[in-house]
């Protein structure tokens, strides 16, 4: 369920008592390497390769967008 709680009532008790139950994430829980390509020039790292059609917007509309907004669309 959550660190320091095995049930919803245990979680609520931790909240009420303001317990700090933070802990390091186990290395085997999230395989970080699967989210990154070892080659930095690998397709997908350049915002100029944005696929406007995939998101249902025109090329002109994509060009007018803030590059950070295009990046946000790709990663969320």
Is 11 a residue whose pLDDT tops 60? yes
Domain ranges across the chain = 24-75
Measured distance CA(43)–CA(65) in Å, rounded: 20
What's the whole-model pTM score? 0.40
Query: Quick one: which of 45, 46, 44, 50 has its CA closest to 63?
Result: 50
Instruction: Please give the structure tokens belonging to residue 54.
Output: 């995939």
pLDDT tens digits, residue range 17-74?
A: 999 999 887 878 877 777 777 777 666 556 677 889 999 999 899 989 998 898 889 8
């Amino acid at each position: 369920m959550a660190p320091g709680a095995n049930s919803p009532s245990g979680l609520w008790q931790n909240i009420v008592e303001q317990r700090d139950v933070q802990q390091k994430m186990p290395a085997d829980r999230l395989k970080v390497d699967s989210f990154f390509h070892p080659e930095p020039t690998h397709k997908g790292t350049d915002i100029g390769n944005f696929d406007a059609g995939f998101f249902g917007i025109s090329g002109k509309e994509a060009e007018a967008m803030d590059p950070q907004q295009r990046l946000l669309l790709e990663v969320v």
